[in-house]
Structure 1
Amino acid sequence: MQESCPTVELNEDTTCHHKALSSATGPAAAMRMMVELIGAREGNFTEAALVRDLGIQAPASEEGSLCGERWRLHRLAQGCEIISDALQIMEEHIEDTLSVSQVADIIGISARKLERGFADKLGRSPLKVYRDLRLDRAHDLVSQTALPMGEVAIACGFSNVTLMKRWFQRKYGEPPCEVRRHAFNGIR
């Protein structure tokens, strides 16, 4: 756990968890620790609601876990403005699902150059990356909201629920309904 305060520099090791004992070095770390413990027992949905309602911000070291695929891809794309811009455009159009040509046109390059850049920097095609970003968003919505699966599919740019469920199962190894059940029942 990391204590955060804009005017004071604090030690990164502000909490400790060992078996059934947890401790924190300050009030902000204690709040975050309690939210995590409640989340471990009650699930991601409850933890996300507490984080939102209490106005707690995740420490910088946890950004990857909060943003999943998006965070990892941006880290891989560091130093390449074209790939970073393409990722940003894809994120902004999760529910629209742009074609590779459309993304390339927005950036002002050829679709082939964009595909080569993705292959070089990320090791995957733009379409696979885009699908993974959409699946990452679907995972967040499934585990943190009670939206019907049809609305989750639409919000993530999938043409139908069956298609979303198939790709979701392939990526995460379990169907969205199981992920939701685990998140809402506190099973991790």
Structure 2
Amino acid sequence: MGRPRSIDREAVLDAADMLVRRHGASALTIDAVAQAAGISKGGGQSCFRTKAALIDALFERFGQAYDRCYREMTGTDASTIGKVRAHVAATFGSDDLSSAKAAGLLAALLQSPRDLEGVRQWYRERLTGLDHTSAEQRRAWIAFLAAEGAFMLRHFGLVKMNKQRWRAIAAELRALLASAS
């Protein structure tokens, strides 16, 4: 008897990410992901028992990549505005990160209240300490909201933004945050 074929979980997640980016979250089913990954539906279910587990894994994958970039960008500046600078840098920093974030966030937002609560908690953590008591805090809010809006518009295919436009927006947000020091 031969050795059982192992399934590469990361390749299955790559297939799920590709499906969401190309066809939207509604295309995300265990069967469709298995087919895209070139495995059986049973193989897909052995990696992720449910669609919710698959979405959790996508969101966790995005979270780990984002967190690495965010920590690098935060460095020694743990101030509230430093954290917004790190968020803007992480958001505009990597196409791969952006794609993973779009797929995971879109899939999570369209799911159960439990998933939506996780996304809300993530935003609460990012915005902790920001208030509207000073001009610099208000600029940080605007930069954060603009980064999120630009990200969603671009990566959900709502507004076409080439790399030049994307970089220009990032530069404007960095300048806004520099004036918030």
Please say whether Structure 1 and Structure 2 have the same fold, judged by a TM-score greater than 0.5: no
More strand by share: 1
Query: If each structure's helix is expressed as a fraction of its own residues, which one has the higher value?
Result: 2
Q: What's the TM-score bracket when you normalise by the shorter of the two chains?
A: 0.3 to 0.5
TM-score, normalised relative to structure 2: 0.34
The alignment's TM-score, normalised by the length of structure 1, stands at: 0.33
